[in-house]
Amino acid sequence: MTVFRKLVRFVEEENLFYRDEKILVAVSGGIDSVVLLHMLLKMEVNCAIAHCNFHLRGDESDGDFEFVKNLANSNNIPFYSKDFDTKAYADNNKLSIEMAARELRYEWFNQILELENYQYIAVGHHADDVAETVLINLVRGTGIHGLTGIKPKLGKIIRPLLPFTRKELEEFAESEGLNYREDSTNRETDFVRNKIRHQVIPVLEQINPAIRKTMSENVQRFKEVEQIYNDVIEENRLHLVFQRENQLLISIARLQELPSPSSHLFEILSPYGFHHRDVRMIAKSLGSISGKRFFSSTHQVLRDRKYLILSELEENDSSEYLLEEKSGLIEFPMEMEASFIDRTPSFKFPSNPEIACLDASKLKFPLKLRKWQQGDSFRPIGMKGNKKISDFFIDQKFSLQDKENTWLLISGDRIAWVVGHRLDDRFKITATTTKIFKLEMK
């Protein structure tokens, strides 16, 4: 099968695009993108060129621009180009140069697609890129999704060259008499991908000369395994996850019945910014007490009695929950048992910080539960002066998560209890106390 026929077959099998659709081709000037453009034009596809000048290689970058511009002119097709200050963008956003360039180009590509009504953006990834990507993911740590390489079609991005190795593309370019630009940085090993390409794969080729073909075959098998995995996850999700207003409830009992709770949790929670380490901590909490909270940059998970409750983080959580003057179970925002008891000679002060015994006569009901706020202060039991809550957190070596998990019990306008940690001296039990209000965390 010729290279061209192989391309046509792949486009049809993967349903990448229809011949009458407009395709924006990302052309750097290198062999991959030049071959891609040539093949698409040979298919008589309606093409245009998009070229990014990242200004990372001085005159060489400017030479790429001129080459690609002439390529567009010689083929009489539309040409779009944009200059980027990639290093400044990387510094300002604390990104690697690779990631900065990726963000910049795809944001710009999407703008062109929308403004000029192109259906897809075609990029020149090939089989060697697939092998390199899998190895990079393995080194950095990955689940099953990271072993499936690069997808032929993802949203508006299509990759028609995935069936071809770089060697095949080089042979095709030579047979067609195609000119292209060599990127000098491809020979450097400062970037992770180049280390894999120039140092790791050559060693693997000594063990298996057909390593690229083997990796492609592995990827196909991994894709089949991923499909089975996804089907099982989605089937179980129907019995695990429930929607309640703006919250997702994950059944703890049903989760614990599954053979791999962590895998299910990761697939449910990862779209909300939770990483593997976060999920491991959440999974460990399944057998512990309720009330624990876990945070991503945008969401939180509350370990309640029966459910893990996923909700979006509010920028300023000023929610207040009232505690009326009565005994009984408090379920939200945390589970506690409230009771009134008489002070007797046999009464013993609890040593457990998760139990608060307060002088009932000094409390102003209804009490309130809320998160701490800047400027909050209280009088830790045994002290005569006040202490800022923020300073108390520092003394106790609280992590950011500890701070976010901490609630305050408020009586009137005073903090009576840093819940689970320290009582306020003004509400302590004394010799004159006759009635005690007891709160016990569950």
**CB neighbours of residue 225 within 10 Å:** 12
Taking the C-alpha atoms of residue 51 and residue 28, their distance in angstroms, rounded to an integer, is: 6
User: Is 31 assigned a ligand-binding role in the annotation?
Assistant: yes
Distance of CA 405 to the CA centre of its chain: 22
- Concatenate the DSSP letters of all residues of 95-146 into one string: --HHHHHHHHHHHHHHHHHHHHT-SEEE----HHHHHHHHHHHHHH---GGG
- Any long-range contacts for 111-116 (C-beta under 8 Å, 24+ apart)? 112/24, 112/50, 112/80, 113/24, 113/156, 116/22, 116/24, 116/48, 116/78, 116/80
User: Is 146 assigned a ligand-binding role in the annotation?
Assistant: no
**How far apart, in Å, do the first and last CA atoms of the chain sit?**
69
- The SS3 of residue 313 is coil
- Concatenate the DSSP letters of all residues of 355-412 into one string: EEEEEGGG--SSEEEEE--TT-EE-BTT-SS-EEHHHHHHHTT--HHHHHH-EEEEET
Taking the C-alpha atoms of residue 321 and residue 122, their distance in angstroms, rounded to an integer, is: 54
> Which run of H or of E encompasses 336?
strand 336-342
- The SS3 of residue 215 is helix
User: Is 260 assigned a ligand-binding role in the annotation?
Assistant: no
Maximum Cα–Cα distance for the chain, whole Å? 100
**CB neighbours of residue 418 within 10 Å:** 23
Annotated binding residues for ATP, written as ranges, equal 28-33
Annotated binding residues, written as ranges, equal 28-33
